[in-house]
């Protein structure tokens, strides 16, 4: 007898990723970039009283997030990018 999937409440949607197939990287909050201290000026924003040309005076530079390699997200570990509920395969019904 078929019944509504209790994992997704009949929606057929992956509950981990909301059906999008991926999850946001927590380290960079989905941007794919992180701010690090400028190694040229040591974070001061200046070199010998002049604006640092590497960070343009901000003291920080952007680099690709090492956690997600700059992608900003990860493949959903529940549905493996399908966006479908892992228990009912996206039908919303369990046999």
pLDDT digits (tens, 9 = 90+) for 48-88: 999 999 999 999 999 999 999 999 999 999 999 999 999 99
**Residues 12 and 32 reside in one and the same domain:** no
Which pLDDT does position 28 carry in this prediction? 97
Residue 54, classed as helix, strand or coil, is coil
pLDDT tens, position by position, 33-49? 999 999 999 999 999 99
Rounded to whole angstroms, how far apart are CA atoms 73 and 16? Answer: 13
Domain co-membership, 26 together with 66: yes
Asked whether residue 67 falls in the same domain as residue 92, the answer is: no
Provide the 3-class DSSP secondary structure of residue 40. Answer: coil
What residue numbers bound the domain in which 43 lies?
Answer: 22-75
Inter-residue contact 60 to 36 (CB < 8 Å): yes
Residue labelled with tokens 């046999």: 95
- 50 beta partners: 47
For residues 43 and 61, state if they share a domain. yes
- Per-residue confidence at 2, pLDDT binned at 50, 70, 90? confident
């Amino acid at each position: 007898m078929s019944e509504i999937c209790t994992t997704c409440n009949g929606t057929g949607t992956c509950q981990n990723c909301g059906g999008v197939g991926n999850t946001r990287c927590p380290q960079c909050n989905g941007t794919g970039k992180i701010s690090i201290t400028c190694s040229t000026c040591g974070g001061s924003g200046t070199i010998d009283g002049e604006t640092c040309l590497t960070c343009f005076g901000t003291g920080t530079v952007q680099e690709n997030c090492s956690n997600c390699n700059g992608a900003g997200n990860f493949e959903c570990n529940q549905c493996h990018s399908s966006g479908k509920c892992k228990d009912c395969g996206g039908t919303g019904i369990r046999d």
